[in-house]
Amino acid sequence: MLACLCALILALQLVGASFHDHDLSEQLSDCVSCQIASHSTADLPAASPQLLALFLVIAFVFARLPRPAPVVLRRYLIPSRQAPPRH
């Protein structure tokens, strides 16, 4: 039910955004969609390509490192003995 509600809200938002149209001479502060769009992450400074490349190399190396297999004690693999109940 929650997933259907979220999908419906997303669909309504997409339909509303597709019909968003007004003149450029109008005040953008009057439009709720324009106010939300103007507060995007575009004002954040861009990361330098060297820093991004270094991060990607480190992430790749860490992803390729072998991970030790978890140790499973043998007693957990063998089920405990249990006889059928007596009547």
Instruction: Show me where the domains of the chain are located.
Output: 7-19+30-43
Q: Which of 60, 57, 41, 39 is nearest to 49 (CA)?
A: 57
Q: Which two tokens stand for residue 83?
A: 């006889």
Q: What is the DSSP string of 28-69?
A: GGG-HHHHHHHTSGGGSPPPPHHHHHHHHHHHHHHHHS--PP
pTM: 0.33
Using an 8 Å Cβ cutoff, are 9 and 2 in contact? no
What is the model's pLDDT at position 20? 72
What average pLDDT does this structure show over 26-42? 65
Q: Which two tokens stand for residue 5?
A: 């509600």
Q: Is the pLDDT of residue 72 over 80?
A: no
CA dihedral 7→13→17→23, nearest 10 degrees, is 170
